[in-house]
Amino acid sequence: MPTLTAVIDLDLPGATISRHVYGHFAEHLGRCIYGGFWVGEDSSVPNVRGIRADVVEALRAIRIPNLRWPGGCFADDYHWRDGIGPRNQRPRMVNSHWGDVVEDNSFGTHEFMDLCEMLDAEPYVNGNVGSGTVREMSEWVEYLTRGDDSPMAALRRQNGRDEPWTVPFFGIGNEPWGCGGNMSAEHYADLARQYATYVRNHGDNTVYKIAAGANSDDYAWTEALMKVSSKLGCGCDPRGFFQGVSLHYYTINGDWDDKGDATRFSTDDWYVTMKRARRIEELVRGHANVMDAYDPERRIGLVVDEWGTWWNVEDGTNPGFLYQQNTLRDALVASVHLDVFHRYAHRVSMANIAQTVNVLQAMLLTDPETGALVLTPTYHVFAMNTGHHDAGALDVRFKGEVPTRTVEGAQVPLLSASASTKDDSALVSLSNLDADEATTVVLDLRGRDVTGHTAQVLTAPALQAHNTAEHPDAVAPAPHTGVRPHPQGLEVDLPAHSYVTVQLALA
């Protein structure tokens, strides 16, 4: 069994890993909102004011920090006034992007904000640029956050909410290069500056405005936005017209016509997925370099507000609902991404996995017939990583040859790691991406005394293992006994295709 050494200086924390990189995304798509979060007050599924109680409980357990809503592509078809007032009087709408279904708008602004309060999560509201107006967006922010007797505050009170909400994050449209309007970068950049001007801070509420950024490696898009934001003197926030620029990247196994199957895949498919997942580091580094050229003080954050795996839908499901299973492979895709967000904590201010319930790389799956709730392997990675929230990133330096595999003509490292420290503790995350071979890593722990440790491991006999209502714990974390004292710190065994976290107590 090969052994590597990972050097970690426990006394030299770097940038803080924002808890918001563990954010989530809830779009009006398939059964994410309706049947996922929202079942209605008359449902036999236990709920609080129409919101599933078990979904809230599960997400609170992983300390969900923020939730992005209502889209996604849906956001640029959504007109917020249709989702307020008595539910039986709200107009219906066609969800043209996702399944061409008719929605009754029973889940709208008040329901979403109620959900965020139940979750103790901060709302990330995405506004409509593609088919909306500047006035519509401005009035939504006023409706949400203004506390006096303004017209929109009065309308909110008429609809049952006296006090304003706190809305710290607001998105200026979504994917304007595609479903959000098919715009050029320069055209959208001008619109983003215009719309952001009218997304105002009301009372004590300060909005972190996020411009809709690039698809994958479109660095020119990021540059167009950074050029606009660098033109300060707008009489608004000293950081510019917006404070964040987004990035979207999905991991697929084939091409967009055939993205691969969620559970029926080969070992070769496993490695192709890991190669493509690891590309997130190249993309974050590339966009960060563009941003650094215009914003060397790093006042503007990179917001990776759509990421995750995207497979072909499950057999027999609506192709527009993007329902897919979630295996151990998805869990390790997540761990690789999170390691990158930790390493780039100086620039990545937020990230949102797509999506929270029943869609793409979901945390939770709900059975439409039995109502059963399933925690996915990806959920468990988020649960194992809560110690990284708002902790100082620690550099992990490998001594020795990190094993690699040739995939699609490139050498893919088969080990991923990150670490952080907060108060008198540290957390080390280790992913062994080798489908067949175990390995051992020596943690060379320097700078502070380690007085104790605990460890967890997430793995399963098969790469394709996943959780179902009948077998909810096929992939679940377990205490890891393969951690031993070593003269330099600790020696950690990593089973093949596994994710391991080691929690350290520090003197």
Catalytic positions, written as ranges: 175, 306
Residues 6+ apart with CB under 8 A from 195: 127, 129, 134, 137, 172, 173
Q: CA geometry: angle at 439 spanning 437 and 441, to 5°?
A: 165
The single residue listed with the structure tokens 């895949």 is: 265
Angle between helix axes 53-61 and 109-119 (nearest 10 degrees) is: 50
- Of 430, 445, 422, 481, nearest to 14 (Cα)? 422
* Strand-strand pairing, 122-127 and 66-69: parallel
- Of 428, 401, 425, 426, nearest to 494 (Cα)? 428
Q: For residue 212, what is the enclosing H or E element?
A: strand 208-215
Rounded Cα distance between 342 and 73, Å, is 28
8-state DSSP, 241: S
Q: How many CA atoms lie within 13 A of 272 on its CB side?
A: 13
DSSP reduced 3-state for 118:
helix
Task: Identify whether the C-beta of residue 237 lies closer than 8 Å to the C-beta of residue 203.
Answer: no
Judge if the upstream peptide bond of residue 238 is cis by omega within 30 degrees of 0: no
Rounded Cα distance between 404 and 414, Å, is 5
Task: Identify whether the C-beta of residue 110 lies closer than 8 Å to the C-beta of residue 164.
Answer: no
